A and B are shown apart, each in its own frame.
Chain A
Amino acid sequence: AQSVTQPDIHITVSEGASLELRCNYSYGATPYLFWYVQSPGQGLQLLLKYFSGDTLVQGIKGFEAEFKRSQSSFNLRKPSVHWSDAAEYFCAVGANSGYALNFGKGTSLLVTP
């Protein structure tokens, strides 16, 4: 069965510092992997996705993620965090992009001045 683990419930970074949010997945075949961001009381915004090809994926808002099959990981990174990046981040896996997604528990990002 598919599963997603986000080991960090909360992360605090200083504005301008780099960020890495961890995501590990369990899936029998090649997974479809996604990162979403959710601001309080809002819906989900897709940051980026990986289906195949280049394992380093560029997304919106300066985010990128790297798929590492050997580590079953799909970590999200940003070189310089802005205060507006404070939100909840969800990693998700699906059989393909059109199937229901299995979400991780989320990582809450706090950005300090």
Chain B
Amino acid sequence: GAVVSQHPSRVICKSGTSVKIECRSLDFQATTMFWYRQFPKQSLMLMATSNEGSKATYEQGVEKDKFLINHASLTLSTLTVTSAHPEDSSFYICSARALAVAYEQYFGPGTRLTVT
């Protein structure tokens, strides 16, 4: 089956620094990837939609200058949390929409970000 990986799985960074999270579709091409955020004991909330070769579309309330998304290829999207603060600590999950296979989308395993 289709596999989506995320790297790193866990990251701890100091307040004020930036951290980059990668989302890769390993065995299929994905024109679209989605980034979700999940706070502890809460549901997943869509942050942004990432389309290969174009600017990401952000959901209302998500700061585009803080959460930089780059979808440079059909298999890679990156989320960079800039000037991270403790309130950015969360579980970040990406999903990738396949070009073929009836527009299925597949979820990555998530990245746990802790900002100290």
Measured CB to CB, the residues of A under 8 A from B are 36, 41-44, 46, 90, 96-106
Sampled A-B contacts (22; CB under 8 Å): A43-B6, A43-B108, A43-B109, A43-B110, A44-B44, A44-B93, A90-B44, A97-B102, A98-B98, A98-B103, A98-B104, A98-B105, A99-B97, A100-B46, A100-B49, A101-B46, A101-B95, A103-B43, A104-B43, A105-B42, A106-B42, A106-B43
Q: In the complex, A105 Cα to B42 Cα: how many Å? A: 6
Chain A residues whose CB sits within 8 angstroms of the CB of B44 once the complex forms: 44, 90, 101, 103
| Distance of B42 from chain A, by nearest CB (Å) | 7
Q: CB < 8 Å: which of B43, B45, B107 contacts A43?
A: B107
Interface string of B9-25 (1 = CB under 8 A from A): 00000000000000000
Return the chain B residue nearest A49 by Cβ: B104
Chain B residues whose CB sits within 8 angstroms of the CB of A97 once the complex forms: 102-105
Chain A residues whose CB sits within 8 angstroms of the CB of B6 once the complex forms: 43
Chain B residues whose CB sits within 8 angstroms of the CB of A105 once the complex forms: 42-43
For the A-B complex with A44-B44, A101-B105 known, give 18 more contacts whose Cβ atoms are closer than 8 Å: A36-B107, A43-B6, A43-B93, A44-B107, A46-B107, A90-B44, A96-B103, A98-B97, A98-B103, A99-B97, A100-B34, A100-B46, A101-B34, A102-B46, A103-B43, A103-B44, A105-B43, A106-B42
